[in-house]
């Protein structure tokens, strides 16, 4: 099955850096890189190879504190592709939902304002990407709930200085509770 060159297999690991990578994958990282080398597992007790038609894809958010633990050996083995917040992907994702074009433009404006006020740090410091809006189906209550359940907690955490984009996002997010203050 795995040795059938007509088939392609993908192993997707979500939030790779949330785990102790060396404990989870161990020497597998070496054998993914050097697939021509056999290795013996305690289960097989015979030489096995990692199939050449197996692709390992993993996601990680470099803003997560656990991502700091990525060591140089792992970084040498990865091809890292950045996916910064995208206004175009946001629009594509929300088009066809129950949201009006006016609401979609207001959401896009949050990203536009953050980028215009912080062009040099936007891609690296934006506290969320377009994907945070993936489950938004209706303006109310979805956008208000997104604010109080997720966004505000990314902007202001206990015992930590407010996020540098807090003022811009707060000013441009019209669905927050008017009684709630970010101070």
Confirm if 155 and 170 have CB atoms less than 8 A apart. Answer: yes
Confirm if 107 and 88 have CB atoms less than 8 A apart. Answer: no
pLDDT: which is higher, 7 or 31: 7
pLDDT tens digits, residue range 80-135?
777 788 899 999 989 888 899 999 999 999 999 999 998 998 888 899 988 899 88
pLDDT tens digits, residue range 142-167?
999 999 999 999 998 888 888 999 99
Report pTM: 0.67
Whether 182 shows a pLDDT value over 50: the answer reads no
Mean of per-residue pLDDT scores for the chain: 82
What whole-number percentage of the chain has pLDDT above 90? 28
Whether 62 shows a pLDDT value over 70: the answer reads no
- Torsion-angle region of residue 147: left (phi > 0), alpha (psi -120 to 50) or beta? alpha
Give the mean model confidence (pLDDT) for residues 24-39: 78
* Tokens coding 74: 């792992």
């Amino acid at each position: 099955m795995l040795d059938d060159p007509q088939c392609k297999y993908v192993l997707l690991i979500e939030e790779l850096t949330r785990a102790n990578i060396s404990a989870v994958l161990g020497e597998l990282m070496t054998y993914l890189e050097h697939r021509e080398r056999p290795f013996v597992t305690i289960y097989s007790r015979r030489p096995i190879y990692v199939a050449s038609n197996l692709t390992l894809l993993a996601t990680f958010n470099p803003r997560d504190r656990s991502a700091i633990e990525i060591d140089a050996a792992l970084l040498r083995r990865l091809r890292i592709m950045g996916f910064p917040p995208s206004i175009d992907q946001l629009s594509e994702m929300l088009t066809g939902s129950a949201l009006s074009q006016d609401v979609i433009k207001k959401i896009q404006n949050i990203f536009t304002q953050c980028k215009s006020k912080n062009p040099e740090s936007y891609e690296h410091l934006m506290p969320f990407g377009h994907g945070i809006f993936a489950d938004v189906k209706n303006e109310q209550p979805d956008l208000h709930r997104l604010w109080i359940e997720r966004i505000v907690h990314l902007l202001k955490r206990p015992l930590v200085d407010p996020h540098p984009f807090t003022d811009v996002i707060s000013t441009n997010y019209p669905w927050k509770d008017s009684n709630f203050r970010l101070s």
